[in-house]
Amino acid sequence: MPHSTRLASFSAVALGSFAVLFVSLFMLAAPSQSFAGCAESSSGGLNLSVGDCKPAKKARLVNGKAIAPASAPDRVKAVIDWANKIRNKPYRYGGGHASFFDTGYDCSGTVSFALRGGRFVSSPMPSTGYIRWERPGQGKWITTYSNAGHMYMVVAGLRFDTSMTPGNGPGWSENMRSTSGTFAARHPAGF
């Protein structure tokens, strides 16, 4: 084989190897979307998730008020802050639907108000509107659970709900409900 042909073959192999190396390094440096939600943490059967669906740190409950962990994203902290604003309001069927600001809240009005704080919704929605909202599955920080008759959400490991909580309206609880396939779990992308 002439010298120029061998040189061309070597150059093609070297260029191909460099391209593979470059693409490999780019893929390692590029941020993975696997953190966005636990339901999205799979790629072609290979689980890319670094952990489970629990937030990096759980919010604390102090006298019925949720305290966001310092590590929570700002939008998650805002959801918790807004939820705290209505945690002692009474339950009122249809409350929180004509306007985010109301004298009482039902289940979906409660969730809509809190999510508005984090800029995740622009208008209140009924529970059925959350059945196909955003992304399927549990999120890292926020998960809504909804069906045709009820809904609630879990934020930073605490449940925000209008039933099975203290009082007769919106409130926080460390106790989770059984969902057993009757609720659609959804989460905002990246959270």
Tokens of 93: 């069927």
**Residue 102 in contact with residue 150, Cβ under 8 Å?**
no
Same domain, 170 and 105: yes
Using the structure block, give the residue that is written with the tokens 């489970």.
52
The answer to the question of residue 53 being in a domain is no
Q: Tens digits of per-residue pLDDT, 35-56?
A: 334 544 322 222 333 445 665 6
Q: How confident is the model over 126-167, as pLDDT tens digits?
A: 999 999 999 999 999 999 999 999 999 999 999 999 999 988
Does residue 54 lie in a domain region?
no
Asked if residue 78 and residue 15 are part of one domain, the reply reads no
| Number of separate domains in the chain | 2
52 within a domain of the structure (yes/no): no
| Residue 69 and residue 43 share a domain | no
List Cβ neighbours of 18 (8 Å cut-off, separation of 6 or more).
Answer: none
| Structure confidence at residue 1 as a pLDDT band (50, 70, 90) | low
Residues 1 and 7: their CA atoms lie apart, in Å, by 10
The reported pTM is 0.73
* 138 Cα distance to chain centroid: 7
- CA distance from start to end of the chain: 59
Instruction: Examine residue 122 and state whether it is found in any structural domain, yes or no.
Output: yes
> Where in the sequence is the domain holding 41, given as residue range(s)?
3-47
